[in-house]
Amino acid sequence: VTGTRAWRVALLVAAVAVVVAAPLVLSSYLLTLLTLVFIAGLLAASVNFLAGQAGLVSMGQAGIAAAAAYGVAYATVRGHDVVIQVGLALVLTLVTSLVYALMTMRSRGIVFLMITLALGMIVFGLAYRLASLTGGQNGLTGIDRPALIAENGTFYLVCAAAFALGTLVLRHVSRSPFGLAVRGVRESESRMSSLGYRVAAIKFGAVLIAGLVAGVAGILAVWQTEFISPSIAQFSRSALAVVMVILGGTGTLLGPLVGAGVVIGAEFWLSTYVERWATVLGVVFILVVLFARRGIVGELEARSHRPRRSAGPAQGLETVPRTTNAGAASPAARDDPDDQLA
């Protein structure tokens, strides 16, 4: 296609117009659904950044989002204004992300996955048991959105904007020298460390950045439901974010949004017909991992062979296992001193 750039600008303008016009056209039910898609897409974008750039699959990302959400909820229930609410949420996001980053910076592959999973469960346990602060199983009620964004249409636009901003920031980071270093770590830790890079510090930074994005998703999530309970930190939330990323296309820009749209759309549509929605989700997940690992967006991009893909930031999930566990065939994998599993 000639004039690719003009096409892309036109597409972007059209997309923005559609998103902005949506509140005028859609029913409030569909609008709420779309809002959920953008919030879930933001959390998935955070998972996607780690999976696509660093090759690290986080199974506990909902834990960070939940920490932020509880920050908002606690501050609101205590009668503080929106600045304190967001401030507390950001502090909790930062603390939780720091813990995640410190615990995982020397791991990778399945060990990274196990640690993030355990951390996510610990956040859930805290939310469940620390009843004096979190309300325990009953959660906290009476959380109102700030007056400025209380109206559903406005809140929808805020969520859409947050997703767009988060995606742009992550894209910018991915293309920065730091992002390149992150990708270098994914490809070969031993090579990066022999080049003088501090591998642990790079992973630390990547987890921290992803954590901050997840925190924003958490703030929006609690404003969306205007209620919080430990289920926001549930394992299935983190797993669902990973499902969205893989379904949409790991490492692609819009994959998380597409994945979130499919999962949430299917959830609401199917759950009116099928009672065992979680079973359907599990089966879909298995099928996607087995047969369509590039995901929807990844598959579309691969078919249209666009030249800009060569400069594009990341590859699908399927490159991850090859580099983390190249079997016994790859000497790089076997000589790697950081391989905790060897």
Q: How far is the CB of 24 from other proteins (least distance, A)?
A: 38
* 223 within 8 A of 155, measured Cβ to Cβ: yes
Tell me which of 6, 11, 15, 278 binds other proteins, using CB under 8 A: 278
CB of 282 to other proteins, least distance (A): 3
- C-alpha 115/C-alpha 129 separation (Å) is 21
Q: Does 80 bind other proteins (CB under 8 A)?
A: no
Contact partners, residue 82, CB within 8 Å, separation at least 6: 146
Q: 37 vs 246, which CB is nearer to other proteins?
A: 246
Q: Which of residues 181-220 bind other proteins (CB under 8 A)?
A: none
| Cα within 13 Å of Cα(323), Cβ side | 23
What is the rounded CA–CA span in Å between residue 277 and residue 262?
Answer: 14
Binding segment for other proteins (CB under 8 A), chosen from 6-14, 101-109, 158-166, 176-184, is 101-109
Of the candidate residues 32, 193, 225, 325, the single one contacting other proteins (CB under 8 A) = 325
Q: Measured between alpha carbons, how far is 162 from 168 in angstroms, rounded to an integer?
A: 10
- 218 touches 46 (CB < 8 A): no
Query: In terms of Cα–Cα distance, which of 93, 58, 38, 35 is closest to 243?
Result: 58
H helical segments located in 26-60 = 28-49
Decide if residue 273 touches other proteins (CB under 8 A): no
Please state the closest distance from residue 238 (CB atom) to other proteins, in A: 10
Q: Give dist(CA 190, CA 197) in Å, integer.
A: 10
- CA pair distance 180, 184, nearest whole angstrom: 6
Per CB under 8 A, the list member of 242, 253, 264, 314 interacting with other proteins is: 242
Residues in CB range of 209: below 8 A, 6 or more apart: 49, 170, 173
Interface with other proteins: number of residues (CB under 8 A): 60
Taking CB under 8 A as the binding criterion, the range among 10-18, 112-120, 209-217, 301-309 that sits at the site for other proteins is 112-120
Residue 225 in the binding site for other proteins (CB under 8 A) = no
Out of 126, 149, 208, 292, the residue judged to bind other proteins by CB under 8 A: 126
CB closer to other proteins, 128 vs 197: 128
Q: Does 128 bind other proteins (CB under 8 A)?
A: yes
Q: CB neighbours of 39 closer than 8 A, spacing ≥ 6? A: 159, 163, 217, 220, 221, 224
Query: Which residues from 130-149 bind other proteins, rule CB under 8 A?
Result: 130-132
Contact residues for other proteins (CB under 8 A)? 57, 59, 99, 102-103, 106-107, 109-111, 113-115, 117-119, 121-122, 124-126, 128-132, 235-236, 239, 242, 246, 275-276, 278-279, 281-283, 285-286, 289-290, 293, 317-318, 320-322, 324-325, 327-329, 336-342
